[in-house]
Structure 1
Amino acid sequence: MSSLLKSRIADFQDVLKEPSIVLEKLRELSFSGIPCESGLRCLCWKILLNYLPLERASWTSILAKQRGLYSQFLREMIIQPGIAKANMGVSREDVTFEDHPLNPNPDSRWNTYFKDNEVLLQIDKDVRRLCPDISFFQRATEYPCLLILDPQNEFETLRKRVEQTTLKSQTVARNRSGVTNMSSPHKNNTPSALNEYEVLPNGCEAHWEVVERILFIYAKLNPGIAYVQGMNEIVGPLYYTFATDPNSEWKEHAEADTFFCFTNLMAEIRDNFIKSLDDSQCGITYKMEKVYSTLKDKDVELYLKLQEQSIKPQFFAFRWLTLLLSQEFLLPDVIRIWDSLFADGNRFDFLLLVCCAMLILIREQLLKGDFTVNMRLLQGILMWLSRCPGLPHHRCQQDPTESQGTPRLEVTW
């Protein structure tokens, strides 16, 4: 460990050991990158995202309360109607009309259950392919949900619900003579034919299944926005950070802690996911236009070039802003950028500057290119930024758990 890194760790520890943490000092330190050693990043993110208060003395009680509340959410919201009666030995003759799956009442538990499954299937499809460049989310968690393992509980694993809801697909092929053949799409055992949705044995949970449960509970508690595609890319880095906490006592509660930090973060950026607000001053269209107005102030030549080619910020900046750049960089670099985003006192104004810096870093290629070339550049910007000085070097195909130190982020003009 370098002397510089040791000094930075000591600076963070000095700030965090105070009975009442000075938020401005913590933000100033965090903006330049938070070391992952000693669980510093996990703790700082919890404070910067308003999950933990500034008074250290209240941390233990608040964490116990919030984690208990999350367990209550699981018990109340991931329940299959009729399961409790089955566990109590109720016979089929005793099932009432209200308990029946064909009950047309919109307030019936079965009707809610079927609607929830529609949301769950979308979440399931998205979380299974989370961060495909690393194996972390496909690996088993050390701390599967204990409610799943309790046969006396009404809790039902989401994996089982997905399996019951999804029909097994078959491939239908018709030859020239009109004979129709039906075959399984995963008949062979070759690697290319393996089911991409293969899961771990009962009693084990992959990390993506934990993320799926977090998103499902969030959707249930926030029906106004529910689940929107892309939320999985926001919760993924949060969960990864907490699930790799060196402090095993906190790591065990990564699911609950991620849920509340994600909820707090979404409270700040949820307008980006609400279509009806797109054209309002708090909507995503306004923020995309701010990217261009900021670019005009910093590099008018590049701004005029993009305007001349009718390249609108909607063509590329929508994803950058909505997903907080989580799709433009590999996970270690996303986490490093988020250190600065969360520490930004003017919430996410810094994100606009990063987006402009990304454009300016490839300005020479953009000034030379035509519309087609430039659109390809902007929509595949990761490849080009990896060649630019001033941003972290990308660790392609490397698990972030193997990286050391704090990547550097510089945004200069």
Structure 2
Amino acid sequence: MAAYKARLQEFSDLLSNEEINLKELKKLCFNGIPDEMGWRPLCWKILLNYLPPTRRTWSETLTRKRDLYKQFIKEMIVMPGESQDAEEDGNRIDVTFADHPLNSNPDSQWQTYFKDNEVLLQIDKDVRRLCPDISFFQQATDFPCAEVVHSKGLKRLHRRVQHTVLKSANVERKGLGITKIALSIKKAPEDYAPMPEGEEAHWEVVERILFLYAKLNPGQGYVQGMNEIIGPIYYAFACNPDVEWREHAEADCFFCFTNLMGEIRDFFIKSLDEAECGISGMMARLLEQLRASDARVWQHLQGQELCPQYYSFRWLTLLLSQEFPLPDVLRIWDSLFADERRFAFLIHICCAMIIVVREQLLAGDFPTNVKLLQNFPSMDIQVVLSKAALLAGRS
């Protein structure tokens, strides 16, 4: 207990400094961020390069970013039929009448609307089943977006897509090897329902963030699995005990998610699979780490031709968000975000996961071992992290 109190004091002292020592912060966060005082969302904002280490700049940074996000909502959620003013030959005209659903002009709002809805359908489907092991995402946020819930029309994005009418876009990130590895193993028994007028569920907020991200990153767009990456970040921010921070969870989450995707986006780009920075390179490094750490298990899996594509594609791509309960994922991400080598520790965690079930793997045949690794057994996450730290030489 005394050690825990001393650790709390370390965080308090470090985060109250005018100039936060990033090296010391990473060292503290690597071993886990306490749940008290809203320190995890604050530390994540710093570790994900959303907030600078200089405290006096925070107010200006936050105001600027949050205003920018409001502008994104206003400009990116295109609603055909809404009156817009334009100027032609010095005269103000209403451009609404110049546009209609059959307009084939690529600049047409209706063309943009229909194209966006193809991607939105997949996002809507994915976020309606986000983190089914908790009820949080089904619940109403205390801070619904006023620009959306109080507006007329279809700015509530879920209304724009009808599963019975629209054909789902093919935006799934395909697996590797001879089998397709599902990116999600946690499924809600049924889709989450929207909130009534004037309210928004948390999943609706996440839907808007992902839609705006896809709009602003057309080269990548939305790929299945991104919903599993954004979920823990939004949860941490929207559960902040400090109401002033919690009020802006949506905007803050958008920029932190964008920064994180900037670091791991190669995992979601199929054309980079075989590149060193792609998912195949990560799986090769995992296999090499396993060979160096436990040659017997490595040889056993190799003899069974149990390739890392069968189990580690989802582990690596989704930063283990599908393998453990959400509280454990938050703890894992403390270490990953604080990793000086930016996700190199992920390889050690994955290797540790294999080693801690080595006896079961050595006794199991191919089907048994595939099932074991694709559905990792419940255990104390600290056992895995301690083993990973030992493999990384950080114990």
TM-score normalised by structure 2 residue count: 0.87
Where does the alignment leave 5 or more consecutive residues of structure 1 unmatched? 87-92, 170-193, 393-407
**TM-superposition CA deviations, 1:379-400 (whole Å, max 9, x none):** 111x2x42798249xxxxxxxx
Residue equivalent to 2:273: 278
For residue 240 of structure 1, the aligned residue among 227, 235, 242 is 235
CA distance in 2, matches of 1:199, 1:388: 34
The 1:49/1:94 distance shift into structure 2, 3 A limit, reads: closer
Residue equivalent to 2:330: 335
Residue equivalent to 2:51: 52
Matched, 1:266 2:261: yes
Q: How far does residue 233 in structure 1 lie from its aligned partner after superposition?
A: 0.3
CA distance in 2, matches of 1:333, 1:197: 23
Is the Cα–Cα contact under 8 Å of residues 266 and 272 in structure 2 kept in the other structure? yes
Q: How far does residue 160 in structure 1 lie from its aligned partner after superposition?
A: 2.2
For residue 204 of structure 2, the aligned residue among 209, 227, 231 is 209
Alignment of 1:2-401 (within 5 A): 2-84=1-83, 96=97, 98-151=98-151, 156-162=155-161, 165-167=162-164, 196-381=191-376, 383=377, 385-386=378-379, 390-391=383-384
Q: How far does residue 70 in structure 1 lie from its aligned partner after superposition?
A: 0.2
CA distance in 1, matches of 2:288, 2:68: 44
Deviation larger for 5-14 or 244-253: 5-14
Is the Cα–Cα contact under 8 Å of residues 75 and 155 in structure 1 kept in the other structure? no
Local SS of the residue matching 1:107 = coil
Amino acid at match of 2:13: D
CA distance in 2, matches of 1:197, 1:380: 24
Q: How far does residue 202 in structure 1 lie from its aligned partner after superposition?
A: 1.1
Amino acid at match of 1:82: G
Is the Cα–Cα contact under 8 Å of residues 48 and 342 in structure 1 kept in the other structure? yes
CA distance in 2, matches of 1:372, 1:149: 49
CA distance in 2, matches of 1:4, 1:256: 36
CA distance in 2, matches of 1:95, 1:338: 47
Where does the alignment leave 5 or more consecutive residues of structure 2 unmatched? 86-93, 167-188
**TM-superposition CA deviations, 1:200-242 (whole Å, max 9, x none):** 2111110000000000000000001100000000000000000
**TM-superposition CA deviations, 1:137-156 (whole Å, max 9, x none):** 000000000102444x8882
Local SS of the residue matching 1:147 = helix
**TM-superposition CA deviations, 1:278-328 (whole Å, max 9, x none):** 001111001011000010110111111111111111111110000000000
**TM-superposition CA deviations, 1:319-376 (whole Å, max 9, x none):** 0000000000000000000000000000000000000000000001111111111111
Residue equivalent to 1:404: none
Amino acid at match of 1:129: R
Is the Cα–Cα contact under 8 Å of residues 46 and 261 in structure 1 kept in the other structure? yes
Kindly report the root-mean-square deviation, in angstroms, between the aligned alpha carbons of the 2 structures. 2.2
Is the Cα–Cα contact under 8 Å of residues 149 and 197 in structure 2 kept in the other structure? no
CA distance in 1, matches of 2:29, 2:192: 38
Local SS of the residue matching 1:226 = coil
CA distance in 1, matches of 2:7, 2:381: 26
The 1:56/1:388 distance shift into structure 2, 3 A limit, reads: closer
TM-score normalised by structure 1 residue count: 0.83
Is the Cα–Cα contact under 8 Å of residues 84 and 154 in structure 1 kept in the other structure? no
Residue equivalent to 1:401: none
Is the Cα–Cα contact under 8 Å of residues 200 and 206 in structure 1 kept in the other structure? yes
CA distance in 2, matches of 1:103, 1:260: 34
Q: How far does residue 21 in structure 1 lie from its aligned partner after superposition?
A: 0.9
The 1:22/1:331 distance shift into structure 2, 3 A limit, reads: same
Q: How far does residue 106 in structure 1 lie from its aligned partner after superposition?
A: 2.0
CA distance in 1, matches of 2:369, 2:297: 12
CA distance in 1, matches of 2:2, 2:382: 24
Q: How far does residue 108 in structure 1 lie from its aligned partner after superposition?
A: 1.4
Q: How far does residue 85 in structure 1 lie from its aligned partner after superposition?
A: 5.3
